[in-house]
Amino acid sequence: MKYQPVIGLEVHVQLLTDTKIFCGCSTKFGSEPNSQTCPVCLGLPGALPVLNKKVVEFAIKAGLSTNCSITPRSIFARKNYFYPDLPKGYQISQFEDPICQRGWLDIKLEGGELKRIGITRIHMEEDAGKLVHGDLSGLNDRSGVDLNRACTPLLEVVSEPDLRSSDEAVVYLKQLHQIVTWLGICDGNMEEGSFRCDANVSVMPVGSSTLGTRAEIKNVNSFKFVKQAIEYEIRRQIDLIEDGGTVVQETRLFDPNSGTTRSMRSKEEAHDYRYFPDPDLVPLVISDEWVERSRQELPELPEQRQQRFIAELGLTLYDAEVLTASRALADYFEAGVAAGGNAKLVGNWTMGEITRALNDSGTSIEACPVAPLQLAELLKLIDNGTISGKIAKTVFDEMWRSGKAPQSIVEEQGLVQVSDSGAIEGLIDEIMAANAGQVEEFRGGKEKVFGFFVGQVMKASRGKANPSVVNELLLNKLKG
């Protein structure tokens, strides 16, 4: 029998606010344990949460960018369970009436086909702290609680079970990742857990409309692992069914070392979270005006920007996609065009030289030592024939190293292209005289030695001779 996998994702997005969701403590990563805490995030008696407005703004932006409706009156709820990293014994989250509901994302499948993936809801919640195991404070084999991360703001984005393969899941996840980083509401760092994912996976016979029993897979924190975990789980469930077994509803943990999943807790062991509205927080009322204001403030999203690059700047779809991989890259490219650079040329250079240099040096586009304006200046020098494309690469390397303007590098190093036919003819004459044999070969019909002559002339000019002038003059002379 053939099986159809059905997948839904729950993605936790850590928000890039300076302070926590319900108190004023810093959200900075990697500080001394428990140094970023206060009575509220420590869950001390008598402490009360106060909602960080920035979190709401970020949630609205995420909702609008994924075609969700913004709930006019949304409610915070308590999710009750005991764990040492959860200081209050409950997590403040949203249950009924989350801030964003009923959205979708059109994901781009291989071959450009679009598929609409429903987004059930996006809700706001606080993160828990972290347990640390090992030798602590001079004592062996202890467990410690670090509450720096407690109360850090998260969005949970829950998709409909609309995904049908691990590849679709990865595409969806990548697009969501692109949106939240593009909006500037998440740093997208999967290793540090800023963007993490749980996958609900089930299988059913092809053609069936009854969903199979699902397993929830936790702890998949890279695109690669998502693919691995889902594929392993699909295989496991199919094998189980084919061996006459049944899939049980359970929570499974992905082990990145073995690439497998193992049972964490069964349905019977599942928590009864006893959700109820948090009486310490008043209902969050979001006016239409607030939503509209947020909509106005939304940046142009990747999809829209690609369309504009194609329509207005004449880029190919492929180039438009590459150049919108991140908002900063797209901004860089557009700034180059705005500074007068030829769009095609700025695009090629941004995707080529710039990206290569950034990768080689491990630099981010935000910290690129060659500003878009300087790149545009350099490309103008090619456009107006001052230097050749080849020389431009040398100039670019120098710009990257020294930060100098392209014009000064060209002047200082005497790299201006030679287009004067008298000077070039002189060089051609010298080279033809020195290579009489090859001249004969050319004239005897062996045209591929032409390349040899071009190379010799360029070499003699130290790359500065204008290649099209060289070509034209050389052809005339060789033909006699």
Partner 1 sequence: MNIIDMTIHELHTALKGKQLSSVEATTAMLERIESVEPQVGSFITVTTEGALANARDADQRIARGECHLLTGIPLAIKDIFLTEGIRTTCGSRILDNFIPPYSATSWEKLRDQGAVLLGKLNQDEFAMGSSNESSAYGPTRNPWDTACIPGGSSGGSAAAVAAREAIATLGTDTGGSIRQPASHCGCVGLKPTYGRVSRYGVIAYASSLDQVGPLTRDVADCAIMLGAISGYDPKDSTSVDTPVPDYAASLAKGVKGLKIGLPKEYFIAGLDPDVQVAMDAAIETYRRLGAVFVDISLPHTDYAVATYYLIATAEASSNLARYDGVRFGHRAEADGLLGMYSKSRSEGFGSEVKRRIMLGTYALSSGYYDAYYVKAQKARTLIMNDFMAAFASVDVMLTPVAPTPAFKIGEKINDPLQMYLSDIFTIPVNLAGTCAMSLPAGFSNSGLPIGLQLIGKPFGEETILRAGHAFEQATEWHTRKATI
What tokens appear for 310 in the block? 């194609």
* Whether 218 contacts 254, CB under 8 Å: yes
Closest CB 249 distance from partner 1, rounded Å: 15
Closest CB 344 distance from partner 1, rounded Å: 55
Q: Which stretch binds partner 1 (CB under 8 A): 36-44, 295-303, 399-407, 454-462?
A: 36-44
Query: Both ends of the chain: CA-CA distance in Å?
Result: 76
d(CA 441, CA 425): 20
Question: By C-beta, is 49 or 336 nearer to partner 1?
Answer: 49
Vertex 299: Cα angle to 198 and 120 (nearest 5): 30
| DSSP per residue, 412-464 | HTT-PPB--HHHHHHHHHHHHHHTHHHHHHHHTT-TTHHHHHHHHHHHHTTT-
Question: By C-beta, is 83 or 263 nearer to partner 1?
Answer: 83
Q: At what angle do helices 467-479 and 436-443 cross, to 10 degrees?
A: 80
Q: Out of 4, 10, 26, 43, which residue is the one contacting partner 1 (CB under 8 A)?
A: 43
* Whether 166 contacts 233, CB under 8 Å: no
Residues from 268 through 287 that contact partner 1 (CB under 8 A): 272, 274-276, 279-282
Question: By C-beta, is 46 or 444 nearer to partner 1?
Answer: 46
Q: Out of 11, 42, 62, 230, which residue is the one contacting partner 1 (CB under 8 A)?
A: 42
* Whether 300 contacts 308, CB under 8 Å: yes
Q: Out of 18, 28, 35, 39, which residue is the one contacting partner 1 (CB under 8 A)?
A: 39
Question: By C-beta, is 241 or 284 nearer to partner 1?
Answer: 284
Going through 211-316 in order, the beta strands assigned E by DSSP cover 215-220, 250-255, 260-266, 276-277, 284-285
No. of H helices and E strands in the chain? Answer: 16, 16
Q: Which of 220, 175, 174, 224 is nearest to 200 (CA)?
A: 220
d(CA 385, CA 465): 11
Q: Is 149 in the site for partner 1 (CB under 8 A)?
A: no
Question: By C-beta, is 38 or 478 nearer to partner 1?
Answer: 38
Q: Out of 18, 31, 50, 267, which residue is the one contacting partner 1 (CB under 8 A)?
A: 50
* Whether 20 contacts 27, CB under 8 Å: yes
Question: By C-beta, is 48 or 475 nearer to partner 1?
Answer: 48
Q: Is 145 in the site for partner 1 (CB under 8 A)?
A: yes
d(CA 65, CA 294): 10
Closest CB 279 distance from partner 1, rounded Å: 4
Closest CB 27 distance from partner 1, rounded Å: 19
Which residue intervals of 123-276 are DSSP H helices?
166-182, 223-242
Q: Is 134 in the site for partner 1 (CB under 8 A)?
A: no
Burial of 315 (0-12, 13-18, 19+ CB in 10 A): buried
Q: Is 46 in the site for partner 1 (CB under 8 A)?
A: yes
* Whether 187 contacts 194, CB under 8 Å: yes
Q: Which stretch binds partner 1 (CB under 8 A): 77-85, 113-121, 222-230, 297-305?
A: 77-85
Q: Out of 51, 253, 335, 339, which residue is the one contacting partner 1 (CB under 8 A)?
A: 51
Question: By C-beta, is 131 or 317 nearer to partner 1?
Answer: 131
Q: Is 132 in the site for partner 1 (CB under 8 A)?
A: no
Closest CB 28 distance from partner 1, rounded Å: 22
* Torsion angle of C-alpha atoms 161, 274, 252, 2, degrees rounded to 10: -30
d(CA 129, CA 464): 63
d(CA 189, CA 222): 9
Closest CB 273 distance from partner 1, rounded Å: 8
Q: Out of 4, 67, 80, 363, which residue is the one contacting partner 1 (CB under 8 A)?
A: 80
Question: By C-beta, is 78 or 214 nearer to partner 1?
Answer: 78
What tokens appear for 87 in the block? 């200081």
Q: Which stretch binds partner 1 (CB under 8 A): 75-83, 100-108, 190-198, 376-384?
A: 75-83
Q: Out of 35, 48, 192, 459, which residue is the one contacting partner 1 (CB under 8 A)?
A: 48
Count residues binding partner 1 (CB under 8 A): 28
* Whether 431 contacts 415, CB under 8 Å: no
Residues from 392 through 421 that contact partner 1 (CB under 8 A): none
| Contact pattern for partner 1 over residues 81 through 120, marking x by CB under 8 A | -x-x--xxxx------------------------------
Residues from 229 through 248 that contact partner 1 (CB under 8 A): none
Q: Out of 49, 103, 302, 336, which residue is the one contacting partner 1 (CB under 8 A)?
A: 49
Closest CB 294 distance from partner 1, rounded Å: 22
d(CA 170, CA 11): 12
What tokens appear for 244 in the block? 């006459």
Closest CB 277 distance from partner 1, rounded Å: 9
Positions in the binding site for partner 1 (CB under 8 A):
39, 42-51, 78, 80, 82, 84, 87-90, 145, 272, 274-276, 279-282
